[in-house]
Amino acid sequence: MPVAPTVASTLGVDMPAEEFRRHGIAVIDRLVAHYASLHDQPAYPAVSPIDLVPLFDGPVPEHGEPLDAILADWEWKILPNSSIQGSPRFFGWVNGGGTQVGTLAEALATGLNPNPGGWRAAQAATVIENQTIRWLAELMGLDATAGGLFVSGGTMANTAALQMALRATATWDIVADGLQASDRPSRLTVYMADHEAHVSFKKALDLLGLGRNALRLVPSHDDFTIDTAALEAMLVADRAAGMTPFCVVGHAGSINVGAIDDFAALADITERHGLWLHLDGACGALGAILPELGGRYAGIERADSVSFDGHKWMGIPYECGCVLARDASRLKRTFGVTASYLHEQPDDALEAFDFYDRGPQMSRGWRAMKVWMSLRYYGAEGYRRFFRRTIDNARYLHELVAGHPDWEVVQPEPSLYIYSFRFRPAGVAEADLDDLNARLADEVKARRVALVMTTRIRGRVTQRFSIANHRTTRDDIREVFEAMTRIGRELAGQGAD
């Protein structure tokens, strides 16, 4: 219902309290309707940003508008033209489904608007961040010496971890001279499994000025985990060839198949060779909370650093990544800065609450609030329940694929919630299968069945589902799988069976 603007709302910064309340309720009403209809909204609107440009095009607003007019765009322009992350049929990338408690936490966080770069601007926020990081570290099985902080996402967490690795292993004055030092060793290199290496490491190497050739891809086993014997042989050969290995990266849930490397075997190697061990756990580090997966996470506590994304499997609203260091002092040794205007205090104990010199950012948003509230609201037990459901969904999909003659299994039964599989009906030539799988994913989106995507497994185009959403049920999985089979047969010119 339209609300007439008041003089205060159009001329002043702040609205009168009653008007703010009315608009706040209007916003909450929209969100209530949104959350209530997540099962009914198509996950994918089948429009592109190019289609939408005219809808949002216009001159810079010279005069303010009533908030009701702006909010009306939510229904008419924004919601119907958005992919719905919260939909139980959103299987793209590794996107989390979001939660109501996360939404409320964001409202409170931005309402107070602290800047937890330094504790003086954010006393409670910085304590909450340290506490939340401690909870996450404990849930992952890291020692009490671990520390960390929230960053924008897995890419920044991986970048920060590589920066810590460089600092920790550098034999020259890297703080003063960086990579421009004349006594810097040549060809600094990083190692990870060849198949599942996430593109975020290319960005990290770009940002650190190391160059993409610094990434050395190690052969992987049939189950896509890193071949540790091959890794060790490669380290020795690379050293002999004049390279300077400084970091090995293991996966705690890889991008296409959710692979979990053998952390203990990796730690044995990195300890033997004096290298930094980083675990990319953006997708799956928190799987350590499931006792039934316990054995798979053995050795995580020996990693020098771990990255994790709250905005993936935990469903924390974007953005929310974090980087953890086994030895918390590594953060300050890597990111520490001083400046007279920062007003550092001589008290060491208080420094633990200054995040500007424990991570890559100065000013920061209060990301911890939404994780802190979510962990308190659902508890570890709640997350165990959610995670088990997503894994059960992935395994159910694997069962459907394995039991259907039109589909091909391309990976082992999933340990986590990411699963790749291939449409391969009899009678279609191998040479046409990549194209068929790509068209199938496009068609499933165009018909608004679900948001599905493809990847390449060992070079061949496959379907790839990330079933991170806690709302997804076995019915969703079965119905989408059946629809994909029907559409696939249609595209292959085979009709319904």
Ligand X SMILES: Cc1ncc(COP(=O)(O)O)c(C=O)c1O
Report the interface residues with ligand X, using CB under 6 A.
Answer: 93-94, 153-155, 158, 198, 200, 254-255, 280, 282-283, 309, 321
State the angle between helix axes of 263-273 and 228-240 in degrees (0 to 180), rounded to the nearest 10.
20
* Contact between 333 and 166 (Cβ < 8 Å): no
Rounded distance between C-alpha atoms, residue 337 and residue 230, angstroms: 39
For the bound state, the minimum distance from the C-beta of residue 137 to ligand X, rounded and expressed in Å, comes to 19
Q: Which one, 9 or 220, has the nearer CB to ligand X? A: 220
At how many degrees (to 10) do helices 200-208 and 154-169 cross?
A: 50
CB-CB neighbours of 40 under 10 Å = 8
Yes or no: say if 413 and 395 are a contact pair by the CB < 8 Å rule.
yes
Q: Which CB, 23 or 198, lies closer to ligand X?
A: 198
For the bound state, the minimum distance from the C-beta of residue 318 to ligand X, rounded and expressed in Å, comes to 8
CB of 204 to ligand X, least distance (A): 9
Angle in degrees, CA 193, 281, 422, rounded to 5: 60
Residue 122 or 283: which CB sits closer to ligand X?
Answer: 283
**3-state secondary structure labels for all residues of 408-432:** EECCCCCCCCEEEEEECCCCCCHHH
Q: Is 221 exposed, middle or buried (0-12, 13-18, 19+ CB in 10 A)?
A: middle
In the complex, minimum distance from the CB of residue 92 to ligand X, in angstroms, rounded to a whole number: 10
Count of beta carbons in the 10 Å neighbourhood of residue 413: 12
Residues 6+ apart with CB under 8 A from 140: 281, 285, 286, 288, 289, 297, 300, 306, 308, 324
Closer CB to ligand X, 93 or 377, in the complex: 93
Nearer to ligand X, 299 or 321 (CB): 321
Q: Output the smallest distance, CB 93 to ligand X, in A.
A: 6
Least CB distance to ligand X at residue 475 (A): 26
Nearest CB to ligand X, comparing residues 42 and 153: 153
Closest to ligand X by CB, 31 or 453? 453
For residue 322, which phi and psi values (nearest 5 degrees)?
-150, 155
β-pair type (244-251, 276-281): parallel
Q: Which is nearer to ligand X, 200 or 270 (CB)?
A: 200
| Residues counted in the chain | 497
User: Shortest distance, CB of residue 316 to ligand X, whole angstroms?
Assistant: 11
Closer Cβ to ligand X, 231 or 323, answer by number = 323
Q: How far is CA 276 from CA 10, 249, 267, 268, 282, in A?
A: 56, 8, 9, 11, 18
Q: How far is the CB of 322 from ligand X (least distance, A)?
A: 10
CB atoms within 10 A of CB 31: 14
* Nearest distance in Å: CB 199, ligand X: 8
Considering the complex, state which of residue 281 and residue 299 has its C-beta at the smaller distance from ligand X: 281
Tell the smallest beta-carbon distance from residue 154 to ligand X (Å). Answer: 3
Going by their DSSP bridges, the two strands 188-193 and 147-151 should be labelled as unpaired
Instruction: Kindly state the smallest distance separating residue 151's Cβ from ligand X, in Å.
Output: 9
Q: How far is the CB of 455 from ligand X (least distance, A)?
A: 11
* SS3 annotation, 198-259: CCHHHHHHHHHCCCHHHEEEECECCCCCECHHHHHHHHHHHHHCCCEEEEEEEEECCCCCCC
* Nearer Cβ to ligand X (311/471): 311
DSSP code at position 441:
H
User: In angstroms, what CA-CA distances link 1 with 17, 52, 76, 109, 186?
Assistant: 18, 26, 15, 28, 67
CB 267 within 8 A of CB 302: yes
The first and second tokens of residue 433, run together, are 């299968």
Closest CB to ligand X among residues 9, 307? 307
